[in-house]
Structure 1
Amino acid sequence: MIRFASLILLFLAGPIAAQEMTMPTGSRQISDRTSPLDSYDLPIGPFANDTLPVRQTEGRVERITWRVQSGSSTTLQLLAPLRDQIIAQGYDVLFECEADACGGFDFRFATEVVPTPDMYVAIQDYRFLSAARGDDVLSLLISRNPPSGYIQMIRVTPVGSEDPPPLVVEEVVSTPVDLLAALDQNGHVILDDLHFRTGEITLGEGPFTSLAQIASYLADNPDTRLALVGHTDDTGALDANISVSTGRAQAVRARMIEAHGVAADRLEARGIGYLAPLTSNETPKGRELNRRVEAVLLVN
């Protein structure tokens, strides 16, 4: 099981003093979509008979996501410590389920999910929890795309109640080893914390933990080189996809040279478009998985 450390969420509002909610080591907040007045349909039961039972809520709605270096941890191992903390803070669990018991595909697409790449949900590997404390409600959605885990929290505070305390994140310096272990064992690894705008080749600002780890690995192993290989889904012509995937691989190579001091002759950048999919491109989730940049180990 992964360790837990000080990524802090000041969580409670009103007359109860603010407390800490501890997130997993290696967690990084990806997004915060807070609306001062909005509505949210809180699921309170599984999808069945073409219906998802919900509790309709209105108020200040916070939609926050994290990405976690989860390694081999299961979705239950990610959820359980968060559930314990929520219960300790006075929330009652209204509904909890795991993938198929939730309603599988139907539940996933009937409930609200922050758009990709800020949140990822594997249809066969997710857990959901909804809870309430008086008029305050929240939900947690947990999923995985190894070596990463994803956490989504949606919290609703009724208008007129005391504003909840601000989100305070304490940066955690950690050294997850799962990515490097996978590189050693398999000879290649997906750099799954990278993000690009749809259809563009510009790499986001970061910082990206995977690039720092890869740079450290190259420094410790001077007889190795890497090929950075871009991949796409099958939307559009092959030539266009090869161009996009090559551009993205080149953007990653440039970032590693400029930001991490890796020698240029130790990095190659290639793009192969949609020629090596991880899974079927027939679903949105499949296409999302197939859009990636991998690091491939080259030994001199």
Structure 2
Amino acid sequence: MRRILAVICAAVLPGWLAAAELVLPAGAVAVSERATALGVYQLPAGPEAADKVPSQRFEGRILRRTWRLEGQAAVLQILAPLREQLLAQGYEVLLDCAARDCGGFGFRFGIEVVPSPDMMVDISAYHFLSAVKAERAVSVLVSQSGGAAYLQVIDVAPPAAGPAIMKPAQQALVEELPLELAKVLEVQGHTALRDLEFQSGSARLGERDYASLRDLAAVLEANPGYRILLVGHTDTVGGLKQNIAISKRRAGSVKARMVESLGVDSGRIDVAGAGYLAPIASNRTPEGREVNRRVEAVLISN
């Protein structure tokens, strides 16, 4: 019989199911948590149409969390019990759709998704739900990717709700799940190098040691047949031509650091700039623009 893990939701999803329990499948392991004390979240309220995802604006304390579940559980098997619990708590469902019905690729890139490897989304195998209750909003995204399921919950609550207090016994349930860069590249084909720092308005990479570059160099050393494409990305501030240029220069700075400091063969790394053409979050918020400013490593040969 499948074992069910009951978690006091003040520990799992602070502030939106105050005294209730959220039941997750056994083996659900917390991967990431990102909190914004006061921000704006555009809650998806309908399928993508004409390159836009209808949304409702919510302002308040935003908590973004992701989990990973090993195995082949269907996305709807994971999402359906969460939907029932939301309904039982008095939430009204605004949108409940599977990949194709949501809008497929257009919907996926029109909503906010926690960056990989913390959240991975298969364009053909995901399910999305959004719900509201008074001034509170919550979205749930579940996807299968590379033999595992990924769960993302974004919760918005009024600032007056205050932070939740986690009891020691509950804290143990929120553990970090390390994901090897090599595995992410093999499963998804690309990964964002999230620890990189560039000077404001500059393509110059900060002068410090970056774990992501060490890991990427190790992947190339361990896999002689691999080649990597470094792709720079920006937010939508400024013109497209300008952004493509600076994004390519930033990717070039990363390549130079790997070649000069880590001894990687320059012939195994190509660079490109996408500017703001491939966002992974909304450019309508400061948080989204920050996420979109990134350099990704793409596996281009095996």
Asked if these proteins are the same fold (TM beyond 0.5), I'd say: yes
Separation in 2, partners of 1:89, 1:170: 26
In structure 2, do the counterparts of structure 1 residues 229 and 80 end up closer, same or farther at CA, with 3 Å as the change threshold? Answer: farther
Paired with 2:223 and 2:29, the residues of 1 have a C-alpha distance of: 25
Partner of 2:162: 163
Equivalent position of 1:120 in the other structure: 120
Q: 1:94·1:130 contact (CA, 8 Å) conserved in 2?
A: yes
1:242-286 Cα distance to aligned partner (Å, 9 max, x none): x99xx9xxxxxxxxxxxxxxxxxxxxxxxxx79xxxxxxxx999x
CA RMSD of aligned residues (A): 4.6
Q: What SS does structure 2 have at the residue aligned with 1:76?
A: helix
Q: 2: distance between equivalents of 1:36 and 1:136?
A: 15
Offset of 1:51 from its aligned partner?
A: 2.3
Q: CA 1:166–1:109 in structure 2 vs 1: closer, same or farther (change >3 Å)?
A: farther
Match of 1:55 in 2: 56
Amino acid corresponding to residue 37 of structure 1 in structure 2: L
Instruction: Report if aligned partners of 2:145, 2:187 keep a CA contact under 8 Å in 1.
Output: no
How many angstroms apart in 1 are the aligned matches of 2:118 and 2:76?
A: 21
Instruction: Give the TM-score normalised by the residue count of structure 2.
Output: 0.58
Q: Does residue 93 of structure 2 align to residue 101 of structure 1? A: no
Name the counterpart of 2:237: none
Amino acid at match of 1:63: R
Q: How many residues align?
A: 224
Structure 1 contact 47–107 (Cα < 8 Å) conserved: yes
Alignment of 1:233-252 (within 5 A): 233-235=228-230
1:86 is matched with which residue? 86
Aligned residue number for residue 143 of structure 1: 143
Cα distance in 1 between the residues matched to 2:23 and 2:58: 26
Cα separation, 2, equivalents of 1:151 and 1:87: 19
Which residue identity is paired with 1:18?
A
Q: Deviations over 1:123-179 (max 9, x none)?
A: 11111100111111100111111321111111111233x225246444399xxxxxx
1:130 counterpart letter in structure 2? S
Alignment of 1:58-77 (within 5 A): 58-69=59-70, 71-77=71-77
Distance 1:31 1:7, change over 3 A: same
* CA 1:72–1:3: 2 relative to 1, 3 Å: farther
User: Which residue of 1 is the match for residue 36 of structure 2?
Assistant: 35
CA distance in 2, matches of 1:73, 1:19: 25
Distance 1:157 1:120, change over 3 A: same
Find the aligned partners of 1:75 and 1:157 in 2 and give their Cα distance.
26
Cα distance change on mapping 1:67 and 1:169 into 2, 3 Å: farther
- Distance in 2, matches of 1:288 and 1:75, equals 27
Cα–Cα, structure 1 residues 13 and 117, in superposed 2: closer, same or farther, change >3 Å? closer
Q: CA deviation at 1:5?
A: 1.9
SS at match of 1:110: coil
Q: Is the 8 A contact 1:8 1:169 kept in 2?
A: no
- Provide the residue aligned with 2:289 in structure 1: none
SS of residue paired to 1:38: strand
C-alpha distance in structure 2 between counterparts of 1:27 and 1:131, whole Å: 22
Instruction: Tell me the alpha carbon deviations over residues 49-105 of structure 1, each in whole angstroms, 9 at most, x when there is no partner.
Output: 232110011011111111111x12111112112212222222221111111110111
In structure 1, stretches of 5+ residues that fail to align are 174-189, 204-227, 248-272, 275-282, 292-300
Residue identity matched to 1:24: P
**One-letter code aligned to 2:44:** P
Q: Is the 8 A contact 1:7 1:170 kept in 2?
A: no
Q: TM-score, normalised by structure 1?
A: 0.58
**CA–CA separation in structure 1 for the residues paired with 2:164 and 2:135:** 17
Structure-1 residue corresponding to 2:5: 5
Q: CA offset at residue 233 of structure 1? A: 4.1
Cα distance in 1 for residues equivalent to 2:49 and 2:2: 34
Q: Does 1:153 find its partner at 2:153?
A: yes
Q: C-alpha distance in 2, partners of 1:157/1:76? A: 26
